């Protein structure tokens, strides 16, 4: 899983406001199109989810999977790794936030997904690109609301 897809966007909010939306897993079904159910299984001492179960239904693709999250001490990034899945062998991802001038923040999303079914690398990269684009767009809409 060495190759990954990475994209960035600028969101009109500060780092803390954006990270609060990213950490609010229970409300993902309200703004993440494919998320049907999200359950926090474990939390850290600050109340952030560290083990989370997702039930996704993207039409042709449905999956139930669990991710393990690691939150940076400075509050500017979060990364995750796959714990279990019906369809995936691996998933690694991260959000990195960089404060910009005038209260905006650059949000960089990195994602690598390894499916249990064989997939041509071009199709896999295209799917990762579509996922990262949608995630950044939905996050921006939710935060700037």
pLDDT tens per residue, range 55-73:
998 776 789 999 999 999 9
Would the pLDDT of 47 be above 60? yes
pLDDT at 136: 92
Would the pLDDT of 49 be above 90? yes
Over residues 8-30, the pLDDT tens digits come to 999 999 999 999 999 999 999 99
**Distance from CA of residue 57 to its chain's centroid?**
15
Nearest of 25, 28, 54, 58 to residue 127 by alpha carbon: 58
Residue 139: which CATH number?
3.30.530.20
Q: Which backbone phi and psi does 126 adopt, to 5 degrees?
A: -65, -40
Range of the domain at 101: 5-144
> Please, are residues 56 and 68 in contact by the beta-carbon 8 Å criterion?
no
Over residues 83-105, the pLDDT tens digits come to 999 989 999 999 999 999 888 99
**How many domains, in total, are found in the chain?**
1
Mean pLDDT of all residues in the chain? 91
């Amino acid at each position: 899983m060495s190759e990954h897809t990475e994209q960035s966007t600028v969101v009109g909010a500060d780092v803390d406001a954006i990270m609060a939306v990213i950490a609010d897993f229970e409300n993902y079904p309200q703004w993440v199109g494919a998320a049907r159910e999200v359950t926090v299984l474990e939390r850290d001492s600050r109340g952030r989810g560290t083990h989370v179960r997702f039930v996704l239904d993207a039409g042709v693709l449905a999956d139930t999977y669990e991710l393990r999250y690691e939150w940076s001490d400075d509050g500017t990034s979060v990364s995750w790794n796959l714990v279990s899945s019906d369809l995936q062998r691996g998933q690694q991802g991260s959000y990195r936030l960089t404060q910009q001038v005038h209260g905006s923040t650059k949000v960089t999303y990195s994602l690598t997904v390894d499916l249990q079914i064989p997939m041509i690398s071009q199709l896999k990269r295209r799917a990762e690109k579509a996922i990262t684009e949608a995630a950044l767009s939905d996050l921006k809409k939710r935060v700037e609301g």
